[in-house]
Amino acid sequence: MNRNKLNIKLLSTFGQRGSAFSVALPQILQEIPNVMLLTADMSSTGALGRFKDANPDHFINVGIAEQNLLGMAAGLAEEGWRPICVAQACFITMRAFEQARQYAGYMHNPIVLVGIDSGYSTKFMGNTHYSLEDLSLMRLIPGMNVVAPCDALQAALALEAAVKSDNPTYIRLYGMPGHPIVYTSNEAPFEIGKANILKEGKDVKIVAIGSMVNVAMKAADQLKKMGIEAEVIDMHTLKPLDTSVLNKVSLVVTVEEHRMMGGLGEAVASHYMEAGIQTKLVRMSIPDSFGTVGNVPYMLEQSGLTVEGIVSTINNNFNKE
């Protein structure tokens, strides 16, 4: 992909899906001509229209049928195509979990599964449409890359990396057009399985994923004013987890718009335990219950997944001596 053609502000305006499918994918197709874009009736929601219209032979809509979406993708993959499957994050990972395990994992087809509207993106649609377990589920599948981009640029880069990977990949997309910018340069690094250290800091390590990276950066700025130096890690890949950035520090805080079980916090905790690194670890995530509905800021506030929530959590747990 020609990075020079990527205008950060424009990508942010398009949002993650617009960047991935309208900007990145046409370029990816030029390099990898066997790309096949499939969707389960999410063409307009997923911003697939531009690609579809320009490349009708590289597009299949299977209707509202996530299981068959992955089945057809597997058949196409074994016939030499590079399928990218787009559906709601909750349905592609849950309705079609067994298909993901069988066709992508067990048969080891490098299918790219893209879940749109992850986390609380679907707002007032409520719990059936919230996708708060997708990362854990996909992480369970042997060989599956699990990636959650933090901004629109990274969504584009993640899609390219996933299509080029020999492994199947789940990409968790988030939010609507007008996405906050984390990476201000189109030369930003992105490699599946390699975390990016966005901010250096000796006092506390904040490990964030997806939508929470931007929030963590703002929290670090506030903490600095309070005299706490926070390191911020963009752990865009949950699997394989980059443990090289998980070194000893007195306090580690993980932040994810996802349930605790099987998510980022658990993965990070497992590493510290197994490596025998003693540290205080606080996992910020979504409680193990079905809650009310609301817009994204409201819902995140319920779980303390806000700038203020991160700041106060760190302030309460940081040993100032």
Judged by the rule CB under 8 A, the positions of this chain that interact with another protein are 57, 60, 62-63, 65, 67-68, 70-81, 98-99, 102-103, 106-107
Distance separating alpha carbons of residues 118 and 148, to the nearest angstrom: 10
Q: How far is the CB of 33 from another protein (least distance, A)?
A: 13
Tokens (6 digits) for 35: 């790309």
CB of 65 to another protein, least distance (A): 4
CB-nearer residue toward another protein: 26 or 71 = 71
C-alpha closest to that of 97 among 110, 83, 115 = 115
The minimum distance between CB 265 and another protein, in angstroms, equals: 32
Judged by CB, which is closer to another protein: 85, or 300?
A: 85
Name the DSSP class of 31. Answer: H
**In whole angstroms, how close is the CB of 81 to another protein at the nearest point?**
6
Residues β-bridged to residue 112: 84, 169
DSSP state string for 116-159: ES-BTTTGGG-TTT-BSSHHHHHHTSTT-EEE--SSHHHHHHHH
| H or E, element range at 97 | helix 97-99
Of 72 and 216, the one with the shorter C-beta distance to another protein is 72
In angstroms, how far is CA 282 from the centroid of its own chain? 21
Q: Minimum distance between the CB of residue 60 and another protein, rounded to whole angstroms?
A: 7
For residue 112, give the amino acid letter.
V
Quick one: 166 or 274, whose CB is closer to another protein?
A: 166
Which residue number, 74 or 114, has a Cβ lying nearer to another protein? 74
Considering beta carbons, is residue 25 or 72 the nearer one to another protein?
A: 72
The CB-of-123 to another protein minimum distance in angstroms stands at 28
The Cα 164–Cα 27 span in angstroms is 13
